[in-house]
Amino acid sequence: MKVILLGNRGSRPIGASEGSPFAKYGGDTTCIGVTFDDGTIVSLDAGSGFWKWPYTLKTLMGREAPFDMHLLLSHFHLDHTMGLAQSEFLFGKDNTISIYGPDFAPGLKRVFEDSANKPFNPDLAKLYAAKISFNTLADTDTHKSFELPNGAKVSYLFVPHGDEESIGYRIDHEGQSLVVISDTHHIFDKDDKPVLSKDIIEFIDGANMMIYDSHFSDKELNDSPFLRTFGHSTGEHGVRLCAAGGVPMFISHHHNPANDDRTLDAMSRDLRFYGYDNNVFVVPAMPSLTIDLAKHPQEILKDLSEQDSPEKRWQFIAGRSPK
């Protein structure tokens, strides 16, 4: 199971071309890719990073259409759906896309159709040629899991997100496991201390890696109760959850669009030290960063060290040595 980070910003996309102060951590909103050796493709959310999928698959990985994708949506906020309506996946007549998402009003299919048509787009839905199916997930489901055709198990957990909810996903396949909780907030006790969710700890137990909402830092939430109303968590809290759930690797994600590279460098440095103190290895999400969960942790660390530029990350995806 390979994880490819296609979009790592939260809230809104920002310009992040070469030379920009936002280039290192990227400007595209949430989209996390998962590929399997058998050809199965999973996308967690469809923010502006979703537009990178065709280039990643065809140009970098050398795959050819038709494509069969499973799209797992956490919720319907625009930064998690804006890349879907104009995706070239939907125009390929032999492509198949199975969309999973919450049972929030006005409904998964309605949200998809509305985003593809006027006034948001020029009636694109009638042009779609791909086979599209919709699978609604509810918090009242007895068994909060389903199986993909390749045998991978997808589990889901509804988590708080401001005055709403979003879905966290876990994918297990052949002894490898990934957890993605892209949008959530944590609560504080009567002494104003952060509370670890027992549900999340149980959900992530023993996973190889967790990607988690790190929009803010602990200091920001401690200094500003107002920011606690935004529905986002912190990298430090993600590390605490990993430590409690026995998860050895943590990816800080959903970067605040107001934070430039210099700010995120400082936050990432502090978070790595915090992770070290909690026996959790911390990696900040960067564009096209790729992690092969089938590898030994030491091999993963070596791979990460070879992906210190966009060009090297693209070469890594393509299976060519950065050297």
- Per-residue pLDDT of 283-323, as tens digits, reads 999 999 999 999 887 788 888 888 888 888 888 887 765 44
Closest by CA to 232, choosing from 52, 25, 15, 75, is: 75
Confidence of residue 229 (pLDDT cuts 50, 70, 90): confident
pTM for the complete prediction? Answer: 0.95
Residue type, 287: P
Percent of the chain that is helix, strand, coil (3-state, to 5): 30, 25, 45
> Would you state the structure tokens that stand for residue 208, as one six-digit string?
């190889």
What's 164's DSSP letter? Answer: E
The answer to whether 232 and 238 have CB atoms below 8 angstroms apart is: no
Characterize the bridge pairing of strands 164-173 and 176-181.
antiparallel
Confidence of residue 210 (pLDDT cuts 50, 70, 90): very high
Give domain 2-317's CATH number out of 3.40.1280.10, 3.40.50.10490, 3.90.1570.10, 3.60.15.10: 3.60.15.10
Q: In the chain, where are the structural domains located?
A: 2-317
